Amino acid sequence: MTSSPHIFEVTVENFEADVIAASDQTPIVLDFWAPWCGPCKTLTPILEKLAAEYGGRFRLAKVNSDEQQEIAGMFGIRSIPTVIALKGQKPVSAFQGAQPESAVRQFLDKIVPSESDERLGKAVAKLDAGDINGAVDELKVALAINPQLDAARVMLADVAMRDNRIDEAKAYLEACSPMTRMEEDFQRVATKILAAEEAGNSPEAAALKARIDKDANDHDARYHLAAVYAAQNQYEPAFQTLLESVQLDRAWNEQAAKKRMVEYFSLANEQPELVRRYRQALAATLN
């Protein structure tokens, strides 16, 4: 019995939870073996070594075919060793017989996520949890590991647009490959940048920004600038503009900026994460 967190023995009792259900989150590699099997004694140590080396990118599930005949029967095991990889509760790859370490590595590399992809997944989870800074850190590490990872660039551009950092967002997109530029996520962020530029560069917006640059406490200008952004469905800069007004003077015009933010929250219901983030920011400002 191994003490590694990445290796475990499979029984009928833990099969459903630790193998089938768990494969939705992490690839599970089933190693069907038996104590009397000579080739198993060569293959299993290789699998155990790589499970430790890969550090949790997959979990090795060891099935003693003599003791767990019901599980072996589920997979139609006729000879051992047999190795089957599960992802999303389905077998995705398999091989039989002892294999050299190089061949086992090739097998694993086709089914386990790369380190950069894992970072990308962590970034998505952190964005969903509202940890913007943590997500940015994960994305930058992913790019450092794999400079070709345009998915990270597109996500970083999208994050930059949350604070209307248009130049930064454009720089990330400009570094993407021609193939990436054809993808839906790229086009979505590019459209967001274009709309933000159109809203921000309108004569009305330019005049309002000039007033704010001249007088940071020109709440009337902020109030109307937010309306210009909202008219273009640019709710992130609209929320940010109103939030700044509340931070400077929450009582201005009978809390008009706060009330307008709340109104816009209902209009931006197709962006629940954005609304949640600014609801939290508004509550933190008012408390």
Mean pLDDT of the 63-85 span = 95
Is the model's pLDDT at 2 over the cut of 70? no
pLDDT in tens, 209-249: 999 999 999 999 999 999 988 888 889 889 999 999 999 99
Where along the chain do its domains lie?
Answer: 7-109, 115-199, 202-286
CA distance 92 to 238: 47
Is the model's pLDDT at 171 over the cut of 60? yes
Same fold, 115-199 and 202-286: yes
pLDDT tier for residue 251 given thresholds of 50, 70 and 90: very high
The number of beta carbons lying within 10 Å of the beta carbon of residue 256 is 16
Residue 40 designated active-site: yes
| DSSP category for residue 4 | -
pLDDT in tens, 112-121: 888 898 899 8
DSSP element (H, E) containing 180? none
The chain-wide mean pLDDT, for the chain, equals 92
CA distance 246 to 219: 9
pLDDT at position 9, please? 96
Q: Determine if the pTM surpasses 0.85.
A: no
Is the model's pLDDT at 84 over the cut of 90? yes
Is the model's pLDDT at 134 over the cut of 60? yes
Topology annotation, domain 202-286: 1.25.40
- DSSP for 68-100, please give it: -HHHHHHTT--SSSEEEEEETTEEEEEEES---
CA triple 115-118-119, angle to 5 deg: 90
Q: Name residues whose C-beta falls within 8 Å of residue 219's C-beta, 6 or more positions apart in sequence.
A: 245, 248, 249, 252, 253, 256, 257
From the list 37, 85, 135, 157, the catalytic residue is 37
Pairing of strands 59-64, 7-9: parallel
Mean pLDDT of the 138-144 span = 95
Half-sphere exposure of 29 (CA within 13 A, CB side): 29
pLDDT at position 162, please? 79
Is the model's pLDDT at 1 over the cut of 50? no
Q: Answer for the pair 46, 89: CB distance below 8 angstroms, yes or no.
A: no
Mean pLDDT of the 2-10 span = 86
pLDDT at position 233, please? 81
- Phi and psi of 217, rounded to 5°? -95, 15
Strands of 55-185, DSSP E: 59-64, 82-87, 90-96
CATH of 7-109, one of 3.40.30.10, 3.40.47.10, 3.10.20.30, 2.40.50.100: 3.40.30.10
Topology annotation, domain 115-199: 1.25.40
DSSP element (H, E) containing 158? helix 150-162
Is the model's pLDDT at 177 over the cut of 80? yes
DSSP element (H, E) containing 30? strand 28-33
Mean pLDDT of the 156-175 span = 90
pLDDT in tens, 26-72: 999 999 999 999 999 999 999 999 999 998 889 999 999 999 999 99
CA distance 155 to 166: 14
From the list 22, 30, 40, 230, the catalytic residue is 40
